Amino acid sequence: SAPVTVARAAALVAGLLVEELSGGSGDLQVLLRLGAFWPAAIAAGEWWRIAPFTVLHLGILHIAMNVLGLVAVGTFP
């Protein structure tokens, strides 16, 4: 009943899988390599970091709470 919410949750889980397969979602170096929001890098011209950081999460608990909040709020009419 909320296809955009389901799609967004799926994108978050897919992002976590990429993180885990790349070395672990708890490793800050992995997150930086995948496009974490880093103000110094953005100021140096890496504007592409503005988009991918929205699906990166620091660990399972972080994504679990975000998906829970997304599903709880995203299903309201």
DSSP string, 55-74: G--SSHHHHHHHHHHHHHHH
Q: Name the residue among 75, 76, 55 with its Cα closest to residue 66.
A: 55
Instruction: Tell me the three state secondary structure of residue 14.
Output: helix
Please name the residue ranges forming H helices in 1-77: 3-21, 28-34, 39-43, 60-74
- Span 4-57, pLDDT tens digits: 888 988 999 998 999 999 998 888 899 899 989 999 999 999 999 988 878 888
Q: What is the pTM of this model?
A: 0.77
> Does the structure show a pLDDT above 90 at 65?
yes
